Amino acid sequence: MSIKVVDAKVVRVSTALYRALSSFAASSLKERYLWNVGVHLLDKVIFEKTGKWRLVISSMEASLEAPNSSCIKYNYNDGAVEIVDKMAGVITIKEPVEIIRTYLAPDRELPFSGPLSLEKILDKMKLYYEAARNHIAECMELHEEAEAKEEAEAKVE
């Protein structure tokens, strides 16, 4: 049988990072909310729920940031996750099984709080990443078309 059971790994993180992750996980994906509108600036797309969390997406990485500078980074090239937090330090997770079994909990008791699944947070980050990547690809396509048009016009002259 190929079914396997592993024990959960609970990582204690700062209250600020936990609250940011909890807010991100609970935030609706409905269009009407401003945090679902990304701003394309240079080579990044930024989604932000003011005062709660900020998601910065670049070509190969998504970084979910808390107001205290703690964050979770996901590298889409190699699938590595990096938790950077004042409480937890820097933790790198590369194996898919480790991602599945990792849960994040606050460093102290908070009302109505429970461990958050790292996998579920990453799944939601991927939705934003895909939207950002699609937008960037469209922009690049339009830019290339404009350059080709300029070159063709320059040859005519």
How far is residue 26's CA from residue 75's CA, in Å, rounded to a whole number? 23
Classify each residue of 62-94 as buried b or exposed e, where b means 16 or more C-beta atoms within 10 Å of its C-beta: bbbbbeeebbbbbebeeeebbbbbebbeeeebe
Q: What is the crossing angle of helices 118-156 and 15-26, to 10°? A: 70
How far is residue 74's CA from residue 62's CA, in Å, rounded to a whole number? 5
Q: Are 113 and 18 in contact (CB under 8 A)?
A: yes
How far is residue 1's CA from residue 45's CA, in Å, rounded to a whole number? 44
**pLDDT tens for each residue of 3-46:** 989 999 999 999 999 999 999 999 999 989 999 999 999 889 99
Place of tokens 């939705």: 127
State the CB neighbour count (10 A cutoff) for residue 21.
24
Q: Are 146 and 153 in contact (CB under 8 A)?
A: no
How much is the pTM?
Answer: 0.86
- Each domain of the chain, given as residue ranges in start order, spans 9-156
**pLDDT tens for each residue of 81-120:** 999 998 889 999 999 999 999 999 999 988 888 999 999 9
